[in-house]
Structure 1
C-alpha cells in the first residue's frame, strides 16, 4: 500500500492515524527494553497540553522513545521544534536556544502530556511546524538550520507494504539530521525501528540488533568499521546497508559486501544544510560524473573550482540566528566538500575548511586517512593537526591495529609506506597506536587538533 506524501507530511500524526486504521497492531518501534510498541498504542498515548499550541519548543530528552513520542505529538502543534544535540554544555545550549528564539524547554514526556480537558484541539494540530537542527560538523560551533517535515522526508518512501518487510535501526542520535532521517524513513514506510539505550556500548547494540532481526542499518563509514570489528557483526541479517556523513572508501564498501553478501549497499550524500542530495548504489567510492548532466532524484549537482554544489527543488530550509545565506541567488548550496574528477567519476577529497596548513602546504586529512586505511594492519584511522613552532602545524595520526603486526613493527611499516608514497609535507610526523577512534554524536571522526 502506497501513501501519498501530501496526505502524511503535516503533521506526523496523520500517518499515525492512518496506520492505526489499516495496521493498528503493526509495531512502529522497539524500545530500549525490547518491548514492541504498535501504532495503536502510540496513538492512544499521545496528548498535548493546549499551552504548547504555537510555541517554540526545545527538546532535550535523553530517552530515545520519549523523544520519538514527543516528535509525533508536537509536529503540527508547535510553531518550531529545536532538537538539542547531546554533549552540549549549558552555555552552548543557552546559545542555541537564544538563536532559535525558544520560549520553552521540554526534557520529559510528562511535560507535554495532559488530561483530556486541557488537550490541544484537533483544529490546533494542522500548522506547518519548523524543525530546527544543529549541524554535526567535527570542528567549530554548530549552526542552526530550519527544515520542514517535507524537506526532511524528501527521499523517504511512503510504501507501507515494502516498509513492513524491514526492521530499521541506526547508530545516530535522533537529535541530529542523520538519525532523524533514518527514523523518519522508517516512520513514513511504517517500518519497525529499533531504539537503543544511549548508555549501551557498540558491542551491546550490535548483539541486540542481531537478536531483534534488524535488516536495515544506517551509519557513518567510521561506525561501520567498528561494527565489523564486533563479535556479533556476522549475525546481522542485513538486507539494506546505508553509509553517510563521511567519505566512504572502497575498502569499507568491499568489506561490507563481503560480510553481508545479501545486502544492498547505498551511499547517501546529505547534510543538515542541504538535506538529502543523492545516493550511489553501484558499490564504488565517489559518485558518477553523469550526475552533473542527469540530476539524481531531481537534485542538481554542480562542481565549481573543485567544490560540490547542490540545488534541491525545495529551498525552504534556511540558517537560523545569523546573517549567513544558506542558498546562493541561483538556489545552489555550497556543501563545503572538495571533489576531484578521475575519469568518469568524482572522488571526495574532504572538507574545504578542514585542511591542515603545513608550512604553507595544504593537507587534506581525509586523504591521509584513506591511505592509512589501505595499509595492512589498520582498521581505523584519524588524521589531525598537531601544532608546530616551525611550520604552524604538522600532520599527526592515530590508528587502530588489526592485531596482525606487533605495535612497533606496525608503526615502522606505516612510516615507511607513507614516506614512499606521500609528499613530504603529508607524511605524519607522529603516528600513535590507540585502542579506538573517538567520534561525535553523529558518528563522525572528531578532528580537533591534537
Structure 2
C-alpha cells in the first residue's frame, strides 16, 4: 500500500540511487514497484516461506523488502558481520527460509541450512521478470529483526504489516518531500532504522542514497556531491564526522536535517555537531525494534532552543528523547518505561507477545517524564548498579564525566565487590592530548552528584566496545575489565 501510494504521487521520481553515478540500480518509484512485484515471483518460485537478506544497505534492500511483502512472506535482514556459525544458527530459526546474499558473504553461508540466491542475480532478474499479484496480508508478519544480543542470545522481534504501516502513517507526512530531496542512509539494513528509513522516506517521496560502509570522509563527500538534504546517523557516526571536521564547519549548504538515534548521544558530540552544521535541523529519534522504530522525537526547533538557552531546565532538554509521537502513549512504572500504540509489536519469534492485558509493552529502559512531557532515558534496567542496596543508573554518572575536558568517551559499569555488592567503575577514553587523573575525575563527580555516585575505580581505555550501530556493549566491557586494583586507582586497560 505504501509503495502504491508513493508511485501514484511520483511515478517518475528517482526512489533509489546516486545522481552522480547513474547505473542499472537507479530506480524510479514506478520501477521500484515493478521490480518488487517481479522479484516476489522469483521468491515464490524458490519456495520461500521466509526471506533472509545478508548484505549491506543498497538498492537491492528496498526492492527485496517490498518483494517479500508482495509475496506475502516475512523478511529478515541479518547482521552480515556475524560469523558463519552464527548466521547458520539464526537462519535455522526461520522456517522455510530462502537466503538472498551479496557475493562478499557467500563463503560464510557455504553450509547454510537454506538455499542461497545471489543478491545481484536476484536483483537483475527481478528487473526483467514479469510481476505477480500481491499476496500481502495486513495482519501477517512483515519483518523479523533479531536484537543485537548485547546481554543475551539475539531474539527475533516480529513486526507485522499493521505495526509498520501504523508507524509510517502516524509519523510521516505523505508526499512531503520536494523534487530535489535526498536522504543519505548509512545505517545497516538489519537495524530497525534501516527498515523504517526505507518506509518513511519512500512514503515522503525522498530519493535514497546509500553509503554501505560508513566512513566520515566519504559521508561528507556524498552529502556535498549528491546535494543531500537529510541524513540518518547513529551517535558513533556523528562523533567521527565531527572529528573529521576538526572544529570546522561542514560546508554542506543543501543539508537541512540530521536525524540520530540507536544509542545515547554524548552531550559533547551533540554540541560540536550543532556548531559544525549551523543550518541543519537536528532530530533525536528514540525507539526500539519492538516499537517499529521511533516513538519519541526531539525536533530541530527544540534542539536549537535548548542549545542557546541559559535556562538550565530548557538546556537540559538536549539530553532528552523529546516527546511521544502521535499514536504512542508512554508511562513510567517503578522507574521503567512502558509504551503502547498501533506501531508497538512486543512480539517475539517462538514466544509470542509480551504485551500486558491493556496492550502496554515494557521497554526495559529506565526513564522519567518531566512536567512538560519530555522523556529522559536513564539506561537499560539491566545496567542498573546496586551498590550498598542503592540503585544507581550509569547514565547519571556518565552525563557528568563526559563534560570533563580530559574525557572523550566514558562508560560506567558495576563490578563485583564483597563489601558493597557492586562497585562503580568508570572506563574512560581520554581526549586527544589529555591525561586522566583518577582523583580529579572522582572529585568532579562528587561535586555534582551525591557521594554514593562517586566512581570507586577509574580505568583508562584506548576505546570502548560498541555494536556497529553504536550501542555500548556493557557486559563485554565488564568482562574485559575483570579484576581491578584497590578502589580509587587509575589503571590502563
The answer for the alignment partner of 1:3 in structure 2 is none
State yes or no: 1:429 paired with 2:457: yes
The partner residue of 2:297 within 272, 279, 304 is 279
Which ranges of 4 or more aligned residues in structure 1 deviate by more than 6 Å? 31-34
CA distance in 2, matches of 1:31, 1:137: 37
- Bigger mean CA offset, 238-247 vs 147-156: 147-156
CA contact (8 A) 2:414 2:422 kept: yes
Contiguous gaps of at least 5 residues in structure 2: 102-117, 304-316, 481-493
The Cα of 1:372 is off from its aligned counterpart by: 1.3
Relative to structure 1, is the Cα distance of residues 113 and 196 closer, same or farther in structure 2, using a 3 angstrom cutoff?
closer
The answer for the alignment partner of 1:406 in structure 2 is 434
Relative to structure 1, is the Cα distance of residues 341 and 82 closer, same or farther in structure 2, using a 3 angstrom cutoff?
closer
Q: How does 1:126-275 map to 2 (within 5 A)?
A: 126-128=136-138, 130-136=142-148, 138-153=150-165, 154-155=167-168, 156-198=171-213, 200-231=214-245, 234-237=250-253, 238-248=255-265, 251-275=268-292
CA distance in 2, matches of 1:181, 1:42: 17
With the length of structure 1 as denominator, give the TM-score of the two structures. Answer: 0.81
Contiguous gaps of at least 5 residues in structure 1: 1-7
CA distance in 2, matches of 1:437, 1:207: 27
Relative to structure 1, is the Cα distance of residues 91 and 360 closer, same or farther in structure 2, using a 3 angstrom cutoff?
farther
CA contact (8 A) 1:383 1:397 kept: yes
Relative to structure 1, is the Cα distance of residues 298 and 127 closer, same or farther in structure 2, using a 3 angstrom cutoff?
closer
CA distance in 2, matches of 1:69, 1:164: 21
Identify which of structures 1 and 2 has the higher relative contact order when contacts are C-alpha pairs closer than 8 Å and 6+ apart: 1
> Secondary structure of the equivalent of 2:240?
helix
How many residues align? The count is: 428
Relative to structure 1, is the Cα distance of residues 114 and 173 closer, same or farther in structure 2, using a 3 angstrom cutoff?
closer
- Bigger mean CA offset, 267-276 vs 380-389: 380-389
CA distance in 1, matches of 2:416, 2:218: 37
The Cα of 1:445 is off from its aligned counterpart by: 2.2
CA distance in 2, matches of 1:401, 1:222: 16
- Bigger mean CA offset, 213-222 vs 419-428: 419-428
C-alpha RMSD over aligned residues: 3.4
- Bigger mean CA offset, 53-62 vs 42-51: 42-51
The partner residue of 2:406 within 333, 356, 377 is 377
CA distance in 2, matches of 1:347, 1:110: 43
Relative to structure 1, is the Cα distance of residues 125 and 268 closer, same or farther in structure 2, using a 3 angstrom cutoff?
same
The Cα of 1:269 is off from its aligned counterpart by: 2.0
The answer for the alignment partner of 1:38 in structure 2 is 27
The Cα of 1:76 is off from its aligned counterpart by: 1.4
The Cα of 1:164 is off from its aligned counterpart by: 3.2
CA distance in 2, matches of 1:64, 1:288: 29
CA distance in 2, matches of 1:393, 1:310: 31
The Cα of 1:223 is off from its aligned counterpart by: 3.2
The answer for the alignment partner of 1:4 in structure 2 is none
Q: Which string of whole-angstrom CA distances, capped at 9 and with x for unpartnered residues, describes residues 120-167 of structure 1? A: 752245445621111236432221111134423514535335253432
Q: Which string of whole-angstrom CA distances, capped at 9 and with x for unpartnered residues, describes residues 13-60 of structure 1? A: x356446xx442525333996758131554565532141466211111
Relative to structure 1, is the Cα distance of residues 259 and 355 closer, same or farther in structure 2, using a 3 angstrom cutoff?
same
- Bigger mean CA offset, 304-313 vs 134-143: 134-143
CA contact (8 A) 1:273 1:326 kept: no
CA distance in 2, matches of 1:123, 1:234: 47
The answer for the alignment partner of 1:397 in structure 2 is 426
CA contact (8 A) 2:155 2:348 kept: yes
CA contact (8 A) 1:167 1:216 kept: yes
